[in-house]
Structure 1
Amino acid sequence: MADPEQYRATFEMVDVDGDGQISPAELRNLMRALGQDISETRAIEVVVQADGDRDGRISLPEFAALMETYTA
């Protein structure tokens, strides 16, 4: 299991409104900043995939788990 604290700094940069959650719009902004212009639909799909508690947003632990799948 991923240690959420190792992803906190990145998470906080993505969580622009500081509410402790990453929304599809914030994820999309991140991807744009990285040169990947993803659609709104794709951003929602990624959030749904990562959203373990089904609240429509990505928490820090969910973000850490998502990052582990991409770096493993």
Structure 2
Amino acid sequence: MSNGWIPTTERLPDQREFIEAYVRHAYAAEFLVTIEGADKATTLYYSQTGVWFNEQGEPYKVVAWMPLPEVFRG
């Protein structure tokens, strides 16, 4: 791991990570990701079939991912 990033070539979210992300976001399992060729991180959803997708259902090639951090509460 590098700065918390997990390369997709090493592994994808496991069952526990998927369920925690799904329960936390209530719509789908959402993660912070780096998309192939992108300069900035973004959030995408992950399906248990191994597909990363946006809110419109469009698939993306993700090169690294990490769980979303907790929301800041000041």
TM-score, reference length from structure 2: 0.28
TM-score, reference length from structure 1: 0.29
Choose between structure 1 and 2: higher helix proportion: 1
> Relative contact order (alpha carbons < 8 A, sep ≥ 6): 1 or 2 greater?
1
